[in-house]
Amino acid sequence: MKQIVINTLFSCVILGLVIIGIELYRTNMTILTNAVDATDDTEKIAETDILNLNKDEVTGGDVISSIRYFKDYSNVTIRVEKKGGSTKNYTTQTYKEEIFPINYESIFDSLIEYQGEKIKKITYTEK
């Protein structure tokens, strides 16, 4: 009889631990889901607020930021046209000053071409 009581108590403890483990797992999944949602919102903010895409005129620093941001997007081309007539297209490349220097204080006109709602090409022309 004593062995039956011990086995029953042991089973109840194991069952309780399993129920607690399942609840902790659900809680962790909820936290993880909320973190992913917050990350998605942050990426949307970064794309529209950090990059000056809605301006007609931007600085050279903004141009460099755009080049660095869009280097991971193979479907976006950034074209930079300087006063002297030299041009450079960036697609999946990052900015390197020694190859094509852009002055941070220079002012550029920007023209954005869309394909549907996605950016296809950005052209920056130095003033």
Calculate mean pLDDT across residues 104-121: 87
CA 7 to chain CA centroid, Å, is 55
Average pLDDT, the chain: 82
Distance CA 109, CA 70 (A): 18
Domain boundaries, the chain: 1-50, 54-126
pLDDT at 107 over 80: yes
The pLDDT assigned to 51 comes to 61
Distance CA 114, CA 23 (A): 47
- The per-residue DSSP string of the chain comes to -HHHHHHHHHHHHHHHHHHHHHHHHHHHHHHHHHHHHHHHHHHHHIIIIIS-TT-SEEEHHHHHHHHHHHTT-TT-EEEEE-TTS-EEEESS----TTTS---TT-EEEEEEEEETTEEEEEEEEE-
The pLDDT assigned to 125 comes to 92
pLDDT at 81 over 90: yes
Q: Model's pTM, two decimal places?
A: 0.59
Distance CA 11, CA 92 (A): 59
